[in-house]
Chains A and B, each alone.
Chain A
Amino acid sequence: MATESSKGGSLQVIGEGNLSLVTSPHAHFGWSTARIMWTVSLSLVPCLASAVWFFGAGVLAPVAGAVIGAAATEWVVARLNHKPQTLPDGSAFLTGLLLGLIVPPGFSPLHALLGGVVSIGIGKAVFGGLGDNIFNPALVGRAFLQASFPAGMTDWSASVARVDAVSQATPLGLYKFGDPSQFASDIATQKLLVGNVGGCLGETSAVAILAGAAILLVTRIAHWQIMVSMVLGGFVFGGVLHLGGVGPSPLFHVLSGGFLFGAVFMATDYVTSPTTPRGQWIFGLGIALLTILIREFGGLPEGVMYSILMMNAAVPLINRGTRPRIYGAKR
């Protein structure tokens, strides 16, 4: 049955025994979960770079601590469960990296490591692992750190490590607890854009965050609906209050604290955000609204973390309420 061909083609290589038999489709887009996770990690490089630039190379210690804590926990959990090793899919590394970028400069590497352990252990593994967790694991880790080490998590003194202009308190802290009359002159929009202000490692530079956002949007990894709706919500809700005589300008809201970092890297976490496009709009707007409310009327200067965690809890409900309309079906 072999045919004579100058190019050597023969049908024997696909004899009946070794035909690959599966049902359609016989084509795939080619991306994997691992490729997505590692690409997101790559998109955090500008933020990491801005942290080193503004706060010094010492900031790499807590970042490394968080990554090691998260990765080690992932490895151990897979071992204990006798499950295939999920470390190479990059999701635990990404969780650690995200956590490391939302602690203050000078944060204890050991505490960061503990945060990484909690992120994966409590934030993810107890729910059944990747895909089954309700809350953003990195934010679970951060909430744990905030509760356990409140002093360390609000110590911005290391902010001055390298660049003199970096103020000791965060802009939001200044706004909430400082002298409002001084505030406007102290925190110029330009500083917020560049990032030479006090704050958590990765969240101060809007430019770096937007560079990461560009990677996530060009590769179509992140749902643009979440980024856009959260930022839009910040402007709208912050703007309404501002016009009513409450609070700073909406631009300040969006550029300060963890707002942009949350919108680009935290709220867009696949597992803990809605799957439907309409749901993603509701999710982003909800986070923005809660954040502005906490900042203006709550006891804390910042509210992005709790807002995202609260909206995480609402995701199943949002998904159910925003099912796409079946093609051709009447309303």
Chain B
Amino acid sequence: MALRSFRGGVHPREHKELTEHKALQVMPPPAEICVPLGQHLGKPANPLVKKGDRVRQGQVLAEASGFISAPVHSPVGGTVVKKTKGPVVGGTTAELLVIQPGPAPAPEAGAPVAIADDGPIFLPPLDPRSVSGKDVVDRVREAGIVGQGGAAFPTAVKLSPPPDKPIDWMIVNGAECEPYLTRDYRLMLERTADLVEGILLIGTALGAKVNLGIGIENNKPAAIRAMREAIAARGARIEVFTLRTKYPQGGEKMLIDAALGRRVPPGELPMAVGCVIQNVGTALAIRDAVVLGDVPRAATLTVSGLGVVEPKNLRVTIGTPLRAVLEYCGGVRPNARRVVVGGPMMGFAAYSLDAPVVKATSGILVLSDAEVAANPESACVNCGKCVAACPVGLMPTRLARLARLRRDEEARDLGIEVCMECGTCAFTCPANIPLVQYVRLGKKNVRNLPRKEA
């Protein structure tokens, strides 16, 4: 049978061999963590603690401030040092709570009684076999779980589709099509049974009629096998879709197309074709929140690239600065040039190593001179490689030119807003034109255009 996939796409060098055989390790929390109040798409959370407060592990630090928002919990027990503004990934600054992990300081002589209960505080565990869909959604909201596929969209919102959009498929995204990253792979291998449980719980949240599946690229045969075995052992009805290894196979639209042959119309969400996509890490977070009452306290991520001394798959306390993670991995090599948070195709270059790991951080890459070496930009020769590779059927070279010339209306008419910024065009361009970068700029300009009359 032909492997499932989509039209277009590219085959970047995978580099997964750097970490795919390395089991997940837990990195101990550093001496100080910086927990951002906005770790999700939507409004930042409202802080409930102040400087000097003792906080328990799992305690709510900040509450959700609207429907599209998520609460933030304390990843550690410790003391709030201050609330401040600091660098975060994505090139901005944001409000952070700086927390010193550690037990409460010993009471001074003559001081009143020490705090009685300083241990972790979690939510009450629920029985996964009898829990109701509403309870799962409430728990996901309460636990502040956000999507770990990159956008960090609050998961509870995704699990509450409007009644006019019936959902008949929920597929977990195990494609992990970004080069270097192997955290989803390790999670599928090491927490297989929990993942099956998480998938079933998402099914519970979405209602009895929903079909369940997981899509995995065929460069991860061990994960495919492990999932099949665990699903059979559990007697669950979860379909495993084997997908062709191709970037961006893990894009929501591409995954749905490959697995089900359904095409999400331009400007619509997967729910338009009856689908919900969840990341592997998200499904596990949901499982932990329901079964253990746990909240997101750590991010599972891959530290890789030819510029880091010891590539690893790690569980890192949320709020840990990138610097501390890299130090834990033996530091960087002399040829290190760029630190990327996320995958190389869509991740952000870090401008400060003080930026913290957040709930949705999937990878930290230290790229060497050789990995970031680029030819100088030259003229477009109309080779059409970007057109052939664009997974959403755009003409990137044309859009980039229109964006550069500020011909925003034309760019809009040619569908610039459909671009999901996967970077395939810039990756494939022999003239090394920053195509997706121009398109990003063009999208921003198009958003500022007066609305088109219907």
Q: Which residues of A pack against B, CB within 8 Å? A: 1-3, 5, 7-11, 13-14, 16, 18-29, 31-33, 35-36, 86, 89, 91, 129-132, 223, 270-277, 280, 323-330
Tell me, rounded to whole Å, the shortest Cβ–Cβ distance linking B86 to chain A: 13
Q: In the complex, identify which listed stretch (B39-47, B211-219, B277-285, B345-353) lies at the interface while the others stay far away.
A: B345-353
Partner of B372, one of A26, A91, A325: A26
A183–B45 CA distance with the chains assembled, in angstroms: 87
A84 — nearest CB in chain B belongs to which residue? B376
Q: What sequence of 0s and 1s flags, for each residue 414-430 of chain B, a beta carbon within 8 Å of any chain A beta carbon?
A: 11001001010011111
B388 touches A277 (CB 8 A): yes
Residues of A within 8 A of B331 (CB): 2-3, 5, 8-11
B330 touches A5 (CB 8 A): yes
Residues of A within 8 A of B342 (CB): 24
Q: What sequence of 0s and 1s flags, for each residue 387-411 of chain B, a beta carbon within 8 Å of any chain A beta carbon?
A: 1101111110100000000000000
A119–B375 CA distance with the chains assembled, in angstroms: 27
Residues of A within 8 A of B347 (CB): 24, 26
Partner of A20, one of B372, B437, B440: B372
Known: A271-B381, A275-B384. Is A24-B346 also a contact (CB below 8 A)?
Answer: yes
A223 — nearest CB in chain B belongs to which residue? B384
A273–B381 CA distance with the chains assembled, in angstroms: 10
A19–B333 CA distance with the chains assembled, in angstroms: 13
A132–B340 CA distance with the chains assembled, in angstroms: 36
Q: What sequence of 0s and 1s flags, for each residue 349-384 of chain B, a beta carbon within 8 Å of any chain A beta carbon?
A: 111110000000000011100011011001111111
Q: In the complex, identify which listed stretch (B23-31, B76-84, B100-108, B262-270) lies at the interface while the others stay far away.
A: B262-270
Tell me, rounded to whole Å, the shortest Cβ–Cβ distance linking A38 to chain B: 12
Q: What sequence of 0s and 1s flags, for each residue 268-298 of chain B, a beta carbon within 8 Å of any chain A beta carbon?
A: 1000000000000000000000000000000
Residues of B within 8 A of A2 (CB): 331
B382 touches A9 (CB 8 A): no
Residues of B within 8 A of A35 (CB): 430
Known: A3-B331, A14-B337, A26-B347. Is A329-B265 also a contact (CB below 8 A)?
Answer: yes
B118 within 8 A of A: no
A27 touches B427 (CB 8 A): yes
Tell me, rounded to whole Å, the shortest Cβ–Cβ distance linking A1 to chain B: 7
Tell me, rounded to whole Å, the shortest Cβ–Cβ distance linking B339 to chain A: 6
B255 within 8 A of A: no
A24 touches B395 (CB 8 A): no
B427 touches A25 (CB 8 A): yes
B431 within 8 A of A: yes
B375 touches A26 (CB 8 A): no
B157 within 8 A of A: no
Tell me, rounded to whole Å, the shortest Cβ–Cβ distance linking A83 to chain B: 10
Partner of B378, one of A33, A271, A280, A325: A33
A130 — nearest CB in chain B belongs to which residue? B379
Tell me, rounded to whole Å, the shortest Cβ–Cβ distance linking A63 to chain B: 23
A sample of 15 cross-chain residue pairs with beta-carbon separation below 8 angstroms, ordered by A number, consists of A9-B330, A9-B331, A10-B332, A26-B344, A27-B344, A29-B429, A32-B431, A33-B379, A270-B383, A271-B381, A326-B393, A327-B264, A328-B264, A328-B266, A329-B265
Residues of B within 8 A of A276 (CB): 384, 387, 395
Tell me, rounded to whole Å, the shortest Cβ–Cβ distance linking A314 to chain B: 14
A7 touches B332 (CB 8 A): no
B344 touches A131 (CB 8 A): no
B334 within 8 A of A: yes
Tell me, rounded to whole Å, the shortest Cβ–Cβ distance linking A166 to chain B: 37
B309 touches A19 (CB 8 A): no
Most chain B CB within a 10 A radius of its CB, from A7, A18, A24, A323 = A24
Tell me, rounded to whole Å, the shortest Cβ–Cβ distance linking B371 to chain A: 8
Interface of B is mostly: loop
Tell me, rounded to whole Å, the shortest Cβ–Cβ distance linking A123 to chain B: 15
A330–B393 CA distance with the chains assembled, in angstroms: 12
Known: A20-B337, A24-B345, A326-B392. Is A32-B383 also a contact (CB below 8 A)?
Answer: no
Residues of B within 8 A of A277 (CB): 384, 387-388
Of all A-B residue pairs in the complex, the 10 with the closest CB atoms, nearest first, are A9-B331, A25-B423, A9-B309, A327-B392, A131-B379, A275-B384, A20-B338, A26-B344, A328-B263, A27-B344
B354 — nearest CB in chain A belongs to which residue? A16
Interface of A is mostly: loop
Tell me, rounded to whole Å, the shortest Cβ–Cβ distance linking A328 to chain B: 4
B421 — nearest CB in chain A belongs to which residue? A24
Residues of B within 8 A of A25 (CB): 344-346, 423, 426-427, 436
B379 touches A132 (CB 8 A): yes
A328 touches B265 (CB 8 A): yes
Tell me, rounded to whole Å, the shortest Cβ–Cβ distance linking A320 to chain B: 10
B134 within 8 A of A: no
Tell me, rounded to whole Å, the shortest Cβ–Cβ distance linking A174 to chain B: 38
A5–B326 CA distance with the chains assembled, in angstroms: 12
B391 — nearest CB in chain A belongs to which residue? A327
Tell me, rounded to whole Å, the shortest Cβ–Cβ distance linking A190 to chain B: 36
A273 — nearest CB in chain B belongs to which residue? B382
Residues of B within 8 A of A89 (CB): 378
A306–B45 CA distance with the chains assembled, in angstroms: 68
A130–B381 CA distance with the chains assembled, in angstroms: 7
A190–B437 CA distance with the chains assembled, in angstroms: 53
Residues of A within 8 A of B390 (CB): 324
Residues of A within 8 A of B338 (CB): 19-22, 26
A275 — nearest CB in chain B belongs to which residue? B384
Partner of A327, one of B253, B384, B426, B431: B253
B427 touches A36 (CB 8 A): no
Residues of B within 8 A of A22 (CB): 338, 349
Most chain B CB within a 10 A radius of its CB, from A36, A131, A271, A276 = A131
Tell me, rounded to whole Å, the shortest Cβ–Cβ distance linking A125 to chain B: 13
Tell me, rounded to whole Å, the shortest Cβ–Cβ distance linking A84 to chain B: 8
Residues of A within 8 A of B367 (CB): 26
A19 touches B346 (CB 8 A): no
A223–B349 CA distance with the chains assembled, in angstroms: 35
Extra contacts besides A13-B332, A25-B423, A86-B378 (9): CB < 8 Å? A1-B327, A3-B327, A16-B352, A19-B338, A21-B338, A21-B349, A223-B384, A270-B382, A326-B394
B441 — nearest CB in chain A belongs to which residue? A23
A272–B307 CA distance with the chains assembled, in angstroms: 42
A131 touches B380 (CB 8 A): yes
Residues of A within 8 A of B330 (CB): 3, 5, 7, 9
Residues of A within 8 A of B227 (CB): none
A280 — nearest CB in chain B belongs to which residue? B384
Most chain B CB within a 10 A radius of its CB, from A24, A27, A326 = A27
B397 touches A11 (CB 8 A): no
Most chain A CB within a 10 A radius of its CB, from B264, B345, B380, B391 = B380
